[in-house]
């Protein structure tokens, strides 16, 4: 795929072994300047390993991982903001002092850091917690502070691993708005999340990892198109019949179902069959492409709930 926009992240033929176990297999992708890039996959797919290697925490077994054409170095901390999977703030220190400390490490002077920290706390509704010790904050409040520490120095590249974890829907929406604002000001975002609705709303392009390899890669629309048939979503009463020749029932509840019709079969044939079955009454229906959540579940259905 050719892009006119310059890339910020380039992963070239990346492979990673831990002992005799190969966890990443010839991974190739780019993250373009100014986009939100979804980096997705079940637990154990290789997401965190890739990010840690990109940021210099691991040495790759094979290939290159570059930021602005170079391997990561400590000098890049001024232009990169990383929200890790494992949160790592000083829990016994006051909120404002923690935020200022990390902002200064990323290149701000103390006055600028304190001003931005107070502004951020106002934005996320935590002004009254500025002098509170982090250990006394709720999990959601700590998560908002962690994101603030990540973005306070206005990095060019934000690498966010599950940024809305532990947040209720209202605060999740707030943090998604903040991420969108940073993107609108030119920041590039690499987003790791299990919440497919966040991906649908925020991401320009995505890569889905499975077993250390790129299973799907492209724009959200391209991924949906490449995955295959569209979905018929039905509201019904009665008993929904099966018909393997016409469709596959991919989700079924007492009065709602989703069908994927077979290749070479038309929606008219599906509805014609259902209309003649007296055991079921279709009250409403919608024909749509699969959601990313549909795709994610289908892609990882063989791995069971325990892996993601």
The whole-model pTM stands at: 0.82
Q: Which of the 8 DSSP states describes residue 70? A: B
89 pLDDT exceeds 90? no
Average pLDDT over residues 181-201: 91
Give the tokens for residue 232. 């018929």
Share of the chain above pLDDT 70, in %: 95
pLDDT digits over 195-239, tens only?
888 898 899 999 999 989 999 999 998 888 877 667 899 999 999
Ramachandran angles phi, psi of 149, nearest 5°: -60, -35
In this structure, how many other beta carbons lie within 10 angstroms of the beta carbon of residue 208? 24
Q: Report the run of H or E that residue 121 belongs to, with start and end.
A: helix 110-123
Measured CA to CA, the distance from residue 40 to residue 216 in angstroms comes to 10
pLDDT digits over 41-78, tens only?
888 889 999 999 999 999 999 999 999 999 999 889 99
pLDDT digits over 127-171, tens only?
999 999 999 999 889 989 999 999 999 999 999 998 888 788 898
Q: Report the run of H or E that residue 233 belongs to, with start and end.
A: strand 231-238
The answer to whether the CB of 64 falls within 8 A of the CB of 12 is yes
Measured CA to CA, the distance from residue 68 to residue 71 in angstroms comes to 8
User: Which single residue is written with the structure tokens 């990443």?
Assistant: 24
Measured CA to CA, the distance from residue 185 to residue 5 in angstroms comes to 16
Residue 189 pairs with which residues in a beta bridge?
36, 158
The answer to whether the CB of 148 falls within 8 A of the CB of 101 is no
Closest CA to 146 of 187, 199, 85, 194: 85
Measured CA to CA, the distance from residue 81 to residue 99 in angstroms comes to 13
Question: What is the DSSP code string of 184-210?
Answer: HTT-EEEEE-S-HHHHHHH-SEEEEEE
In this structure, how many other beta carbons lie within 10 angstroms of the beta carbon of residue 103? 25
Measured CA to CA, the distance from residue 119 to residue 229 in angstroms comes to 47
306's CB contacts (< 8 A; 6+ apart) are: none
**Integer angstrom CA distances of residue 79 from 12, 173, 213, 224:** 21, 25, 28, 33
Measured CA to CA, the distance from residue 102 to residue 115 in angstroms comes to 14
């Amino acid at each position: 795929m050719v892009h006119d926009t310059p890339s910020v992240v380039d992963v070239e033929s990346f492979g990673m072994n831990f002992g005799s176990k190969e966890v990443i297999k010839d991974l190739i992708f780019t993250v373009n300047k100014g986009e939100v890039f979804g980096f997705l996959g079940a637990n154990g797919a290789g997401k965190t390993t890739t990010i840690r290697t990109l940021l210099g925490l691991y040495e790759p077994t094979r290939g290159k991982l570059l930021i602005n054409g170079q391997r990561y170095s400590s000098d890049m901390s001024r232009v990169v903001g990383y929200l890790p999977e494992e949160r790592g703030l000083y829990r016994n220190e006051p909120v404002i002092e923690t935020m200022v400390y990390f902002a200064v490490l990323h290149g701000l002077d103390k006055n600028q850091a304190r001003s931005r920290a107070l502004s951020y706390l106002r934005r996320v509704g935590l002004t009254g917690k500025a002098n509170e010790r982090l250990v006394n904050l709720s999990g959601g409040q700590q998560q908002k502070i962690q994101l603030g520490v990540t973005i306070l120095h206005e990095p060019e590249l934000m690498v966010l691993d599950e940024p809305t974890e532990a947040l209720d829907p209202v605060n999740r929406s707030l943090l998604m708005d903040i991420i969108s604002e940073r993107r609108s000001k030119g920041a590039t975002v690499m987003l790791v999340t299990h919440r497919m609705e966040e991906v649908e709303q925020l991401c320009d392009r995505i890569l889905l990892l499975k077993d250390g390899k790129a299973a799907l890669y492209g724009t959200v629309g391209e991924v949906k198109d490449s995955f295959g048939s569209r979905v018929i979503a039905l509201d019904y009463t009665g008993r929904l019949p099966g018909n393997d020749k016409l469709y596959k029932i991919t989700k079924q509840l007492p009065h709602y179902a989703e069908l994927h019709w077979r290749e070479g079969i038309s929606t008219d044939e599906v509805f014609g069959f259902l209309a003649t079955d007296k055991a079921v009454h279709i009250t409403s229906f919608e024909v749509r492409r699969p959601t990313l959540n549909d795709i994610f579940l289908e892609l990882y259905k063989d791995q069971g709930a325990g892996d993601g």
